[in-house]
């Protein structure tokens, strides 16, 4: 089932998510829904908070559904290593229509459980590292806009407020 993706300003997007205590059939259904929602958007990553569920789960697939082997699911993920620097443009399904250049580490290693409860440790570089860190930010209650400073952030937030007041957000 494709779920609605919440937009910047929704309360659940700005709060840390809770750990998953048990991988139940409801969690499996949520993961299936998140994958369908991510592909339909289309996107390369989606956190549970973006569909209104405050749990520490994210899915990622740089192939956007073209290569099933690239689909990754993380339950209770943790960043265990980060290094280097990359400066690239970033967007977000919860902030549609806005992009900005965000500084992030060029390499990130994430540890967490697969949907089957098996521990995994995956290293990402470049775009995958960026995706991992972007989704981890969601689980901490942050969006890429929160990483911006000064005029760049102010302009985006003001435009979002204006759209919101006009009922277009």
- The whole-number average pLDDT for the span 113-126 is 98
- In this structure, what token pair is assigned to residue 102? 């965000």
Q: Which of 88, 89, 90, 135 is catalytic?
A: 135
Query: DSSP letters along 59-70, please?
Result: EE-TTTTS-GGG
Question: Is 70 noted as a catalytic residue in this protein?
Answer: no
Confidence of residue 115 (pLDDT cuts 50, 70, 90): very high
Pairing state between β 119-125 and 45-47: unpaired
Confidence of residue 18 (pLDDT cuts 50, 70, 90): very high
pLDDT at 141: 98
pLDDT tens, residue by residue, 124-164:
999 999 999 999 999 999 999 999 999 999 999 999 999 99
pLDDT tens, residue by residue, 37-59:
999 999 999 999 999 999 999 99
Domains of the chain: 11-165 (3.90.45.10)
């Amino acid at each position: 089932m494709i779920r609605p993706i919440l937009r910047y300003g929704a309360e659940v997007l700005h709060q840390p998510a809770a750990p998953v205590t048990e991988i139940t059939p409801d969690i499996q259904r949520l993961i299936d829904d998140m994958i369908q929602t991510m592909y339909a958007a289309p996107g390369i990553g989606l956190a549970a908070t973006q569909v209104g569920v405050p749990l520490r789960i994210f899915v990622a697939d740089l192939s956007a559904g073209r290569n099933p082997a690239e689909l990754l699911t993380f339950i209770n993920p943790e960043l265990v290593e980060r290094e280097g620097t990359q400066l690239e443009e970033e967007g977000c399904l919860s902030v549609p229509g806005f992009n900005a250049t965000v500084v992030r580490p060029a390499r990130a290693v994430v540890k967490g459980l697969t949907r089957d409860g098996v521990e995994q440790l995956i290293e990402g570089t470049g775009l995958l590292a960026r995706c991992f860190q972007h989704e981890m930010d969601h689980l901490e209650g942050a969006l890429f806009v929160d990483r911006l400073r000064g005029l760049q952030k102010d302009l985006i937030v003001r435009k979002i407020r204006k759209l919101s007041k006009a009922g277009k957000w």
